[in-house]
Amino acid sequence: MRLILILIIMIFVSFVAKSDQIYEIIKLPNLEIYNNSQNKVKFLYAKDNVNAGVGINSVNCEKPIKKDLDNKIISSDTNFKRYSNFFLDEIKLKYVVFCDNLKVSEISAHGFANPEMKTIILNTSSDKRIFKRILHHEIFHF
């Protein structure tokens, strides 16, 4: 009886719970889903500092300011309506991440497209006048 109990415990202990499912999908920690996106693409934002990768393959950014985040989400949502669901399916874009002070390979950036992870990362501290252009530019990297 004890042997069976020990075997059952060993089986359940061997399964590890995944606390951050978003990290498992796109390999960026500290992200949350923004609830108001109306498109097929999911909008995510950094709930804390994001540090992923090392050296030339690193991505670093900070939690966005709420006001900037809301404005950029509204702008992005409006601009994504220009693209058909067919187009978004074809390019396989699934996630747009919003964060502040984006750095890719320790170089400041306005945006970054990662087709392998089906993700675009956008800098919310970018000027409002060029943000729309950055969004479309990163989409066409796919």
pTM exceeding 0.85: no
Distance CA 114, CA 122 (A): 11
139: pLDDT confidence band, cut at 50, 70 and 90?
A: very high
25: pLDDT confidence band, cut at 50, 70 and 90?
A: low
> Is it the case that residue 110 has pLDDT exceeding 80?
yes
131: pLDDT confidence band, cut at 50, 70 and 90?
A: very high
Residue 38 pLDDT:
64
Mean pLDDT value across the chain: 83
Strands (E), 6-126: 31-33, 42-46, 50-52, 59-62, 95-104, 107-108, 111-114, 119-123
% of the chain beyond a pLDDT of 70: 85
The CA angle 20-21-27, to the nearest 5 degrees, is: 85
| Cα–Cα separations (whole angstroms), residue 10 to 1, 7, 19, 64 | 14, 5, 21, 43
